[in-house]
Copies of this chain bind each other. A is one copy, B any other.
Amino acid sequence: MRYFEDLPVGLSIDLGTASLSESEMIDFARRYDPQLFHVDPVAAESTSFGGLIASGVHTLAIYMRLFVDGLLSNAASLGSPGIDELRWPRPVRAGDKLRGSYTILSARPSSSRPQWGVVVGRGEAVNQDDQAVLTIIVVNLFGRRRES
């Protein structure tokens, strides 16, 4: 179990990989982001994307799962107040294999809750060609190790 004290600035974590199938992309988008280029493979061909692409929120959700499996599920995670910046530099297409990573940019004790720590990290997901498809600056709260 990792606490705030185990998350120093500069720590970099490989979050592993995940793949997206066309059916999962379409199912997600039908429910949450039903724009043509996310739900209709034929209509998507005549858009600027030249074919079906994943909803950016879906790409974020996939990254989130990697982040949970690779760090948060084994840490004293107390949630997140938000995201400072998120970019989707390239589209994600069906069959893409994404690899996630996370690097800590800053870490400080919470001013309002001394038993909490505030960690800001930079995350990235790259595709099978090592091209970035998502970059994120995210704020997370972690419990501090109790002194014994």
Contact = CB atoms under 8 A, between A and B. Distances in A.
Interface of A: 31-35, 37, 47-49, 53, 55-57, 60-62, 64-65, 68, 72-73, 77-89, 91
Contact of A62 (B32, B65, B83): B32
Q: How many copies does the complex hold?
A: 2
A141 to B, nearest CB: 9
Contact of A60 (B57, B78, B79, B85): B57
B73 A82 contact: no
A102 to B, nearest CB: 15
B85 A84 contact: yes
Nearest to A31: B65
B87 A81 contact: yes
Contacts of A48: 78-79
B64 A57 contact: yes
A32 B55 contact: no
B82 A88 contact: yes
Most buried by B among A53, A55, A56, A84: A56
Contacts of A56: 79-80, 82
Contact of A61 (B47, B57, B73, B86): B57
Contacts of A78: 47-48
Contacts of A77: 35
A75 to B, nearest CB: 10
